[in-house]
C-alpha cells in the first residue's frame, strides 16, 4: 500500500498542484504569474519523480501492485514532464492576459498527471481513471481556448465523441474482466496464459476465445480514438481546425501517447493467447490509418487540418510496432533472432520499442511544429492557411529553418529522429518471421506488405511536408506583420529544435534505453502456473 503511494508520488505531486492552481484562480494573482508557476510545478513533479524512481523496491513486489515501475515507465514520465514544460512555455504569452490562466494551467497539469499515470498503471481501473484524467481536462481546455462558435463546436464535438469512445473502451475492459476475473494486468496475463498457452503443450491457441477477441477489438477501438486511428479519427481535423494552435498541439501529443501506451500495456503485453487476432487487427488498422491519413492530408490547405491528418498517419506508423509487439510476445525465441539477425543491425529498437521511439520522435517534433504555429500567430489572427506561412524564410529566417527541421523530421529525412523512428518501425516489421513448411523462419508476407505500405506512405507524406517547406522558402511573403507568439514560445520552439537535432545526431543512448525490457520482470518465458489469479488483492 505504502509502496503504491510512493511509486505514485510524481503523479500525486503534479495533480495536487493542479488542484492548488484551480483553487488559487479565485485569488487576485496576476495572470502572467501562472505560467512560471506551472513550470515550477513541473519542476517539483520532476523532483518527486527523481525521488520515487530512486527508491529501492524489489521487482517481485511490484507484481502484486496496481502500479508498475520499469526503466521505460520512468523514462516515459520524464519525457512527459519535458514535453509538458515545452508546452507550458508555449502558452505563456497567450495566457499572460487571460482571466482563466489558473484554470488553464490547472487543467493542463492534470492532463500531464494523467499521462504519467497511464505509464505506470498496472490495473484496468487505474488505467481507465488515468485515461479519463486526460480526457476530462481536455474538454475544459478546448472550451477555454477560444470564444467563438467554431471553438465551442469543436469542444462539444470532442466531448461527445470522447465520451462515446470511453464507453466503448470500458465495454472492452468489462469483457476482459469477465474473461479473467481480475482487473490487475499481471493477473490477467497469468490467467490468460494458463488458459490458452498451457492447453496444447507450448503451442499457443492462436484464436483465443471469442470473448477475448471482442474485448480486444473494443479496447483497440476505444484507444484508437485517442490515437486518432482510422476509422476513429473523424473528430481530429474538425477539432484541430476549430481550436487554437496550442490546443491542437496538446491534442496531437498527449492523448496519442496515452492511447499508444495503454494499447501496448493492455494489448500486446497482457492479452496472451490473442496474438494472432491482435496482430491482424493492428495490421489492418495500421495500414488504413497510414494510408487514409496521408491521402487526406494531401488535399488540405488549412495547416492545422493538414497536421491533424498527418497526426492520423503517424498513429498508423506507431501501430506497426504494436503489431510486431503482438507477434513478439507470441514468439519470445524468434525475438532473439530479430535482435541479432542481419536486419537488427545498428541495434534499432524493435516491436513496441520501435513504436515508443516513434512516439518520442513524433511528440518532440510536433511540440516544436505546433509551437511554430503558436509563435507565428498575429494579433487576433492565427495561422490558418498555408498562405500564412509563405515566405517565412524572408521574414523570420531562423524560425523558418527550425520549422523546416521539424517538417523534415516528420517526413523522415535523415539524420533527424523521424528518420530513425520510421527506420526502426519498418525494420522491425521486416524482421518478423514465421514458421512455414520450407523454413523455420520465413519472412511474414503480411508484415512485408505492411512495411511496403508504410514506405509508400512515407513518400506520400513527404509531398505535403515538402510543399509546406517550399512555400516557406521559395515564395515571397504575403504579409510582414510581426508574430505575436511571444518570446517564451520562441524559446520553447528552439528548445524543441535542439532536442530534435540532438536526438537525431546522437540516437544511441535512446536506443540503448529502449532496449531495456518493457515489463518489470521478464518472466514471460516461464509463467508461474501455480500462482493463483487472485493476486489482485492490494
Partner 1 sequence: MAIEWLAKLIPLFPLLACLITLVFGARYLREKSHYPVVFGCGLSALCSLILAFTVASNQTAEEPFQTVTVYQWLALDPVAEPLAEGAAPSSAAPALTPPVNFSISLRVDSLSAIMLSMLTFVATLVAIYASGYMHGDRSYWRFFTCVALFVFSMIMLVLSASFLQLYMFWEAVGLCSYMLIGFWYEKPEAAAAGKKAFLVNRIGDFGFATGVFLIWVTFGSLEFQQVLNPEVVAAVFRAKPEMITWICVCLFTGAVGKSAQFPLHVWLPDAMEGPTPVSALIHAATMVTAGVYLVARCTPLFILAPEARLLVSFVGGVTALLAALIALTQTDLKRVLAYSTVSQLGYMFLGLGTGLASGIAGGMFHLVTHAFFKALLFLGAGSVMHAMGGVIDMREFSGLRRLMPQTYRTFLIGSLALAGLVPLSGFWSKDTILSAVHEASHGPAAHAGAAHADSEHSAEAAAEPNVAPEPKLLGVSATSLYTLLFWMASFTSLLTAFYTFRAVFLTFWGEEKIPHAAGHHAHESPPVMCIPLWILAIGAIFLGGLLGHPTGIFDGFLARTIPMVGEGHHGTDWYVVILSTVCAVTGISVAYFMYGLPSKLPEQIATAAGPLYRASCNKFYLDEIYRVLFVLPILALASLSRLLDWSLIDGLVTGVGKLPGVAGRLPRPIQNGLVQFYALAMMLGLAVLLWVLVIKQG
Q: Which residues of this protein are in contact with partner 1, per CB under 8 A?
A: 156-157, 160-161, 164-165, 168, 207, 210, 213-214, 217-218, 220-221, 225, 230-232, 234-235, 237-238, 277, 280-281, 284-285, 291-292, 294-299, 332-333, 335-337, 339-340, 342, 344-347, 415, 460, 463, 505-508, 511-512, 515-517, 525
Taking the complex as a whole, the smallest distance from the CB of residue 103 to partner 1 amounts, in Å, to 25
Cis check for the bond before 231: say yes or no (omega within 30 of 0): yes
Burial of 503 (0-12, 13-18, 19+ CB in 10 A): buried
Task: State in angstroms the smallest separation of the CB of 508 from partner 1.
Answer: 6
Buried/exposed 158-194: b ≥16 CB within 10 Å, e otherwise: bbebbeebbebbbbbbebbeebbebbbbbbbbbbbbb
CB of 254 to partner 1, least distance (A): 20
94 or 277: CB nearest partner 1: 277
**Would you say 132 or 238 has its CB closer to partner 1?**
238
**Closer residue to partner 1, CB minimum distance, 201 or 333:** 333
Q: Output 247 or 282, the one with its CB closest to partner 1.
A: 282
**Do residues 132 and 233 make contact, with C-beta atoms less than 8 angstroms apart?**
no
CA distances, 328 to each of 48, 92, 214, 268, 351 (Å):
34, 44, 21, 9, 7
Contact 270, 188 (CB under 8 A): yes
Strand partners, 433: 443
Q: Of the candidates 358, 496, 469, 498, which has an alpha carbon nearest to the alpha carbon of residue 417?
A: 358
For partner 1, the closer CB: 86 or 520: 520
Q: For the packed helices 445-474 and 397-411, what is the interaxial angle rounded to 10 degrees?
A: 170
For the record, the C-alpha cell of 364 comes out as 518532440
Q: How far is the CB of 231 from partner 1 (least distance, A)?
A: 3
Q: Which is nearer to partner 1, 36 or 517 (CB)?
A: 517
State the nearest-atom distance from the C-beta of 161 to partner 1, in Å: 6
Residue 265 per-residue DSSP state: I
Q: With respect to partner 1, which residue has the nearer C-beta, 199 or 516?
A: 516
Closer by beta carbon to partner 1, 27 or else 345? 345
Pairing type for strands 442-443 and 433-434 reads antiparallel
Angle at 13 between CA 74 and CA 34, to 5 degrees: 115
CA 168 – CA 201 distance, rounded (Å):
35
Residue closer to partner 1, measured from CB, 342 or 379: 342
Minimum CB separation of residue 260 from partner 1 in Å reads 18
Least Å distance, CB 297 to partner 1, is 8
Which residues, at least 6 apart from 229, have a Cβ–Cβ distance to it below 8 Å? 285, 286, 289, 312, 315, 316, 319
Nearest to 519 by CA among 220, 266, 183: 266
Residue 532 has a CB neighbour count (10 Å cut-off) of: 11
Q: How far is the CB of 162 from partner 1 (least distance, A)?
A: 11
DSSP 137-204: HHHHHHHHH--SHHHHHHHHHHHHHHHHHHHHHHHHHHHHHHHHS--BHHHHHHHHHHHHTTTTTT--
Residue 520: CB partners within 8 Å, gap ≥ 6?
A: 59, 62, 63, 68, 69, 70
- Among residues 119, 217, 210, the alpha carbon closest in space to that of 168 is found at 217
CB of 217 to partner 1, least distance (A): 5
Q: Which residues contact 471 (CB under 8 A, 6 or more apart)?
A: 386, 387, 389, 390, 391
Give 230 or 364: the residue with its C-beta nearer to partner 1. Answer: 230
For residues 20 and 295, which CB has a smaller minimum distance to partner 1 in the complex? 295
Q: State the nearest-atom distance from the C-beta of 22 to partner 1, in Å.
A: 28
* Least Å from the CB of residue 460 to partner 1: 5
What's the min distance (Å) between Cβ of 273 and partner 1? 14
Judged by beta carbon, residue 34 or residue 159, the one nearer partner 1 is: 159
Sole residue written with cell 482487473: 183
Q: Which helix or strand (DSSP H or E) is residue 433 part of?
A: strand 433-434
Amino acid at each position: 500500500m505504502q509502496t503504491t503511494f510512493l511509486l505514485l508520488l510524481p503523479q500525486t505531486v503534479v495533480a495536487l498542484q493542479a488542484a492548488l492552481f484551480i483553487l488559487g484562480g479565485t485569488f487576485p494573482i496576476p495572470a502572467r504569474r501562472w505560467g512560471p508557476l506551472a513550470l515550477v510545478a513541473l519542476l517539483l513533479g520532476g523532483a518527486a519523480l527523481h525521488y520515487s524512481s530512486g527508491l529501492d523496491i524489489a521487482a517481485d513486489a511490484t507484481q502484486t501492485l496496481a502500479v508498475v515501475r520499469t526503466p521505460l515507465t520512468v523514462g516515459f514520465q520524464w519525457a512527459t514532464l519535458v514535453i509538458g514544460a515545452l508546452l507550458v512555455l508555449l502558452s505563456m504569452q497567450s495566457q499572460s492576459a487571460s482571466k482563466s490562466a489558473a484554470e488553464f494551467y490547472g487543467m493542463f497539469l492534470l492532463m500531464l498527471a494523467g499521462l504519467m499515470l497511464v505509464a505506470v498503471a498496472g490495473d484496468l481501473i487505474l488505467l481507465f481513471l488515468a485515461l479519463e484524467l486526460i480526457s476530462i481536462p481536455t474538454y475544459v481546455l478546448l472550451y477555454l481556448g477560444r470564444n467563438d462558435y467554431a471553438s465551442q463546436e469543436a469542444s462539444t464535438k470532442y466531448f461527445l465523441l470522447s465520451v462515446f469512445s470511453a464507453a466503448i473502451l470500458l465495454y472492452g475492459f468489462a469483457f476482459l474482466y469477465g474473461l479473467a476475473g481480475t482487473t490487475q494486468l499481471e493477473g490477467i496475463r497469468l490467467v490468460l496464459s494458463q488458459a490458452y498457452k498451457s492447453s496444447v503443450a507450448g503451442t499457443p491457441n492462436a484464436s483465443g476465445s471469442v470473448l477475448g477477441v471482442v474485448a480486444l477489438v473494443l479496447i483497440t477501438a476505444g484507444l484508437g480514438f485517442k490515437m486518432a486511428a482510422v476509422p476513429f479519427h473523424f473528430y481530429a481535423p474538425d477539432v484541430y481546425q476549430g481550436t487554437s494552435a496550442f490546443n491542437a498541439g496538446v491534442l496531437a501529443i498527449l492523448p496519442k501517447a496515452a492511447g499508444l501506451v495503454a494499447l501496448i500495456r493492455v494489448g500486446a503485453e497482457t492479452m496472451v493467447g490473442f496474438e494472432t487476432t491482435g496482430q491482424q487487427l493492428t495490421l489492418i488498422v495500421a495500414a488504413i490509418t497510414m494510408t487514409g491519413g496521408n491521402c487526406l492530408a494531401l488535399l488540405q490547405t488549412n495547416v492545422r487540418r493538414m497536421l491533424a491528418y498527418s497526426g492520423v498517419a503517424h498513429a498508423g506508423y506507431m501501430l506497426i510496432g504494436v503489431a510486431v509487439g503482438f507477434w513478439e510476445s507470441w514468439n519470445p525465441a524468434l525475438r532473439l533472432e530479430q535482435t541479432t539477425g542481419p536486419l537488427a543491425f545498428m541495434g534499432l529498437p524493435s516491436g513496441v520499442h520501435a513504436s515508443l521511439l516513434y512516439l518520442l520522435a513524433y511528440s518532440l517534433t510536433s511540440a516544436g511544429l505546433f509551437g511554430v504555429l503558436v509563435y507565428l500567430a498575429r494579433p487576433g489572427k492565427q495561422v490558418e492557411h498555408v498562405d500564412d506561412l509563405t515566405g517565412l524564410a524572408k521574414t523570420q529566417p531562423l524560425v523558418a529553418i527550425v520549422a523546416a527541421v521539424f517538417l523534415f523530421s516528420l517526413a523522415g529525412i535523415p539524420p533527424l529522429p523521424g528518420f530513425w523512428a520510421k527506420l526502426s518501425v519498418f525494420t522491425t516489421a521486416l524482421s518478423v518471421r514465421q514458421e512455414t513448411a520450407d523454413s523455420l523462419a520465413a519472412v511474414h508476407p503480411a508484415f512485408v506488405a505492411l512495411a511496403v505500405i508504410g514506405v509508400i506512405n512515407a513518400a506520400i507524406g513527404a509531398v505535403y511536408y515538402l510543399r509546406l517547406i517550399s512555400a516557406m522558402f521559395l515564395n515571397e511573403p504575403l504579409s510582414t506583420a510581426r508574430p505575436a507568439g511571444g518570446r517564451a514560445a520562441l524559446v520553447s520552439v528552439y528548445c524543441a529544435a535542439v532536442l530534435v537535432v540532438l536526438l537525431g545526431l546522437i540516437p544511441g543512448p535512446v536506443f540503448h534505453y529502449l532496449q531495456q525490457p518493457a515489463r518489470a520482470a521478464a518472466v514471460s518465458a516461464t509463467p508461474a502456473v501455480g500462482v493463483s489469479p487472485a493476486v489482485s488483492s492490494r
